[in-house]
Amino acid sequence: GAVVSQHPSRVICKSGTSVKIECRSLDFQATTMFWYRQFPKQSLMLMATSNEGSKATYEQGVEKDKFLINHASLTLSTLTVTSAHPEDSSFYICSARDIRSSGNTIYFGEGSWLTVV
């Protein structure tokens, strides 16, 4: 299957600071990437859909000014959590759509554990 790399895998930051998480498709081009958040024992919640070269589409209730998404190339999307607060602590996962596969399979990065203290 396709490989998606996410970095950093774990980050601890102080309240009020910003954190950037990178999502890279390593062996394919991804015109569309997705960002999810998952709280303990809950399902993945789609935050936004990132399209290369255009503005991200945010889900209802997700603040676009707080969660900045940039999809500058066909292999890289970044999520920046601005002015992080403890309630932003969560598991953030990206996925990328492999358009080469029939059925539009998506593959996930390893996820990033964010802890805001």
Which residues of this protein are in contact with other proteins, per CB under 8 A? 1, 6, 32, 34, 36, 42-44, 46, 49, 91, 93, 95, 103-111, 113
Q: Which residue has the tokens 């009020």?
A: 16
Nearest to 22, CA basis, from 78, 71, 74, 72:
78
CA–CA dist 29, 83 (Å, integer) = 31
What is the chain's length?
117
Closer CB to other proteins, 46 or 68, in the complex: 46
* Shortest separation between residue 114's beta carbon and other proteins, angstroms: 13
Closer CB to other proteins, 63 or 110, in the complex: 110
